[in-house]
């Protein structure tokens, strides 16, 4: 099971992005999965009938979690099921690889196979039955990512956030998404036990404060 990690989020503007891109390229490695320095992410988030995950985030509940399935760069041959948990400001992400067919079966509500699959699939199966979790909305965005081995640091800048509103056919490449309101660019800094000072200095931009921004929450603005 993955450990809990520290996480900072900051809302930044395009000028900040250009500055940070130059700084980070000088001291960090570009994530190996990027194409020309970036990659596209499509996620499908789950929530209960009364939107528990959404309102837990809005209300700042200390212990909260959300499930999603996602793929990268429009390539549905590699799909991951993820559960992201947060407690006392620390984050944990647990992942399991699933097939395109399995992802579609979850969307279609054909769930029996999950009982004998990865433990994370079993957990989602249980919560779909007990909490009524169901696919809720598609979230699309572009990500630039950098890594730094000391401290296991990962820095991402996410932008062009788009929502599928109530669409859940996220395996369909023709599915239309629209801008999720006036979304900012989101800088995220994640690390394990310590954040090296060289990284802390690099991501420090005067006037930018920590944010609790949620892409899922932003993509529910038309709910």
pLDDT at 207: 82
Instruction: Indicate the SS3 state at residue 194.
Output: coil
pLDDT at 2: 63
Half-sphere exposure of 23 (CA within 13 A, CB side): 15
Q: Which residues have C-beta within 8 Å of that of residue 189, sequence separation ≥ 6?
A: 7, 8, 9, 10, 153, 154, 155, 195, 199, 203
CA distance linking residue 187 with residue 156, whole number of Å: 6
CA distance linking residue 219 with residue 178, whole number of Å: 9
Give the pair of three-digit tokens for residue 125: 């199966």
pLDDT at 108: 96
> Measuring CA to CA, which residue among 118, 95, 121 is closest to residue 106?
121
| Residue ranges of the chain with per-residue pLDDT less than 70 | 1-2, 223
pLDDT at 58: 92
């Amino acid at each position: 099971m993955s450990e809990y990690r520290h996480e900072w989020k900051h809302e930044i503007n395009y000028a900040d992005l250009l500055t940070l891109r130059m700084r980070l390229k000088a001291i960090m490695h570009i994530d190996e999965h990027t194409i020309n320095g970036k990659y596209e992410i499509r996620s499908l988030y789950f929530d209960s009938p009364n939107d528990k995950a959404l309102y837990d985030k809005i209300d700042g509940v200390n212990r909260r979690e959300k499930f999603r399935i996602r793929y990268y760069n429009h390539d549905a041959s590699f799909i991951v099921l993820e559960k992201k948990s947060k407690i006392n400001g620390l984050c944990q992400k647990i992942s399991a690889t699933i097939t395109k067919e399995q992802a579609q079966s979850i969307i279609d509500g054909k769930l029996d196979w999950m009982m004998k699959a990865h433990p994370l699939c079993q957990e989602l199966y249980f919560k779909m039955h007990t909490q009524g979790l169901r696919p809720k909305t598609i979230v699309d965005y572009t990500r630039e990512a950098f890594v730094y081995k000391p401290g296991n640091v990962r820095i991402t800048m996410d932008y062009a956030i788009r929502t599928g509103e109530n669409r859940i056919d996220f395996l369909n490449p023709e599915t239309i998404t629209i801008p999720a309101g006036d979304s900012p660019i989101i800088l995220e800094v994640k690390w394990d036990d310590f954040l090296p000072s060289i990284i802390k200095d690099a991501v420090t931009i005067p006037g930018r404060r920590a944010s609790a921004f949620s892409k899922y929450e932003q993509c529910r603005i038309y709910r």
